[in-house]
């Protein structure tokens, strides 16, 4: 392991977090929230000290960056971001306990949106801004951001290993030959769409700071609300805008790049996008039929169904209605969508539509194989045969996913909640969605859990965001062995 290089890299990450906190500080100053100002100043002093303490001994780190360093760096960067980022919550007294603050921050960075806070309106507004901002930066990924802005080209293999570890999806590729250029294109698309979303929200007469926070939550597919009832008390226009943008941010960003290039044909023919849209429309239709008696008009029924499908499928986690009161069938569909998540290469979490599609297709192949053992069959996506290693990885991913799900479920069952609440709680955190069902439903929060359960769910959120393996290898002895 090249510890010096990793130290240098991690010091850059914490310096970046310092810069990220400046807007929050400015907001605190302009709103005159003295408690928040002090909290941010103290945090930034600590971050500055930490950065220097890491940078000074490590600044001359070499440049040999292997796959191990890439993965460990990625997980370490996210853990450091979370630990440093939770300090303002503690210092401002919003969430005085470390475990609560950490849960909230990890929930932010991993774009989960599960909260331990019962009353967010009591938070200073600058703290609310910081809480939502973590969604935005966590959505596209902080390492990708660092890649886009850092000078120089990086050492050999430096960038690819990092991107692989952070980016969601079964098969990570580049849009253009240069990694840095790819990272810039991704962020420019992200920023452009975020601004568009913000403009639409402001047109609906939303308070500017609320609009910014809601945009952060939508763009990162996070889902921290600025009100206790999430988006339920906002106008139908705001809800519809958010629905559309949640769907848009759940689409693979390379599709947008292809659209910018004018290559509409490959976008329309993209299997993952088609499957994603199919799932969306089918779910909305089924849910709308199932819940039609609960709402007065068809408009309301459709709006709520679409919003809930959007929020769960894109793994945002906003809510406009208490879907825990919906009939079982509708809730079942939502639980299924939780696992599917958004497209690969988007800001959404979950298993990813691409991976689910691969798993279903390889399952279909295996069934046919049983009936016709001599037949040679290939799994195709977008008309191209999929490499067997990609399929193997998807299967391994599912196995790891289920293992972690079961273990966390066991820990959470000690709380004595119903099986439905516990299972949905674990699923929602592992897939970075936000709300669960029953006792952890959209009107409730995670504040009542024990510290052990909170820490387990915190770990689940990180594991889900980084797609399991970067975190798991931290616990492997081979990782730390000398080469």
| 430 contact partners, CB below 8 Å, separation of at least 6 | 401, 404, 405, 408, 460, 461, 463, 464
Residue 387 CB neighbours (<10 A): 12
* 262 scored as a contact of another protein (CB under 8 A): no
Residue 177 or 328 with smaller CB distance to another protein:
177
**Quick one: which of 97, 178, 269, 380 contacts another protein (CB under 8 A)?**
178
CB of 118 to another protein, least distance (A): 48
Name the residue among 122, 136, 81, 74 with its Cα closest to residue 105.
81
* 269 scored as a contact of another protein (CB under 8 A): no
For residue 381, the SS3 value is strand
CB 355 within 8 A of CB 371: no
Task: Pick the stretch among 90-98, 138-146, 169-177, 423-431 that binds another protein (CB under 8 A).
Answer: 169-177
Instruction: Give the phi and the psi of residue 381 in degrees, each rounded to 5.
Output: -130, 135
Residue 67 or 360 with smaller CB distance to another protein:
67
CB of 397 to another protein, least distance (A): 19
Helix axes 236-249, 298-313, angle to 10 degrees: 30
CB of 338 to another protein, least distance (A): 33
Task: Pick the stretch among 84-92, 126-134, 158-166, 296-304 that binds another protein (CB under 8 A).
Answer: 158-166
Q: Which ranges of 158-207 would DSSP assign to H, the alpha helix?
A: 158-166, 179-203
The interface with another protein within residues 10-69 (CB under 8 A) comprises: 67
CB of 66 to another protein, least distance (A): 9
Residue 131 or 161 with smaller CB distance to another protein:
161
* 157 scored as a contact of another protein (CB under 8 A): yes
* 385 scored as a contact of another protein (CB under 8 A): no
Q: What is the DSSP string of 389-432?
A: HHHHHHHHHHHHHHHHHHHHHHHHHTT---HHHHHHHHHHHHTT
CB of 362 to another protein, least distance (A): 18
Task: Count Cβ neighbours within 10 Å for each residue of 146-174 and write b for 16 or more, e otherwise.
Answer: bbbeeeeebeeebbbbbbbbbbbbbbeeb
**Quick one: which of 26, 31, 46, 174 contacts another protein (CB under 8 A)?**
174
| Site mask for another protein (CB under 8 A), range 115-154, x = bound | --------------------------------------xx
Tokens in use for 69?
Answer: 């360093």
Q: What is the DSSP letter of 211?
A: H
Size of the site for another protein (CB under 8 A): 16
Task: Pick the stretch among 104-112, 155-163, 214-222, 463-471 that binds another protein (CB under 8 A).
Answer: 155-163
CA distance 242 to 227: 15
CA distance 441 to 424: 9
CB of 178 to another protein, least distance (A): 6
CB of 177 to another protein, least distance (A): 4
**Quick one: which of 59, 156, 269, 380 contacts another protein (CB under 8 A)?**
156
* 159 scored as a contact of another protein (CB under 8 A): yes
Residues lying near another protein in the complex (CB under 8 A):
67, 153-154, 156-157, 159-161, 174, 176-181, 387
């Amino acid at each position: 392991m090249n510890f010096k290089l990793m130290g240098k890299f991690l010091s850059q990450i914490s310096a970046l977090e310092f810069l990220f906190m400046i807007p929050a500080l400015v907001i605190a100053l302009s709103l005159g929230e003295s408690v928040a100002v002090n909290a941010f100043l103290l945090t930034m002093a600590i971050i500055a000290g930490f950065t220097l303490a890491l940078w000074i001994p490590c600044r001359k780190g070499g440049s040999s960056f292997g796959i191990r360093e890439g993965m460990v760096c990625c997980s370490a960067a996210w853990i450091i971001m979370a630990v440093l980022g939770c300090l303002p919550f503690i210092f401002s007294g919003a969430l005085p306990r470390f475990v609560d603050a950490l849960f909230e921050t990890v929930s932010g960075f991993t774009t989960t949106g599960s909260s331990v806070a019962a009353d967010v309106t009591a938070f200073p507004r600058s703290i609310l801004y910081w809480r939502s901002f973590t969604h935005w930066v966590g959505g596209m990924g902080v390492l990708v951001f660092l890649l886009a802005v850092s000078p120089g080209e990086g050492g050999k293999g430096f960038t690819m290993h990092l991107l692989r570890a952070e980016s969601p999806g079964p098969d990570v590729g580049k849009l253009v030959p240069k990694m840095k250029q790819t990272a810039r294109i991704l962020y420019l698309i992200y920023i452009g769409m975020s601004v568009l979303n913000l403009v639409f929200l402001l047109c609906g007469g939303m308070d500017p700071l609320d609009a910014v926070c809601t945009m952060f939550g939508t763009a990162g597919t996070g889902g921290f609300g600025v009100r206790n009832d999430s988006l339920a008390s906002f106008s139908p226009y705001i809800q519809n805008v958010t629905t559309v943008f949640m769907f848009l941010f759940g689409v693979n960003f390379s599709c947008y790049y292809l659209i910018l290039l004018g290559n509409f044909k490959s976008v329309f023919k993209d299997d993952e996008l088609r499957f994603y849209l199919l799932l969306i429309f089918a779910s909305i239709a089924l849910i709308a039929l199932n819940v039609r008696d609960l709402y007065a008009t068809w408009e309301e029924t459709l709006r709520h169904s679409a919003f809930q499908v959007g929020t769960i499928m894109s793994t945002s986690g906003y809510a406009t209605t208490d879907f825990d009161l919906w009939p079982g069938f509708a809730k079942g569909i939502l639980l299924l969508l939780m696992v599917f998540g958004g497209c690969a290469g988007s800001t959404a979490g979950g298993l990813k539509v691409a991976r689910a599609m691969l798993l279903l297709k390889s399952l279909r192949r295996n069934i046919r194989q049983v009936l016709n053992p001599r037949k040679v069959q290939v799994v195709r996506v977008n008309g191209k045969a999929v490499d067997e290693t990609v399929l193997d990885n998807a299967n391994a991913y599912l196995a790891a996913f289920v293992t972690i799900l079961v273990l966390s479920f066991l820990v959470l069952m000690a709380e004595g909640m119903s099986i439905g609440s516990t299972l949905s709680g674990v699923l929602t955190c592992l897939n970075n969605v936000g709300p669960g069902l029953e006792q952890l439903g959209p009107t409730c929060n995670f504040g009542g859990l024990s510290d052990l359960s909170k820490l387990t769910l915190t770990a689940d959120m990180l594991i889900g965001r980084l797609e399991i393996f970067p975190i798991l290898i931290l616990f492997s002895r081979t990782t730390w062995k000398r080469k």
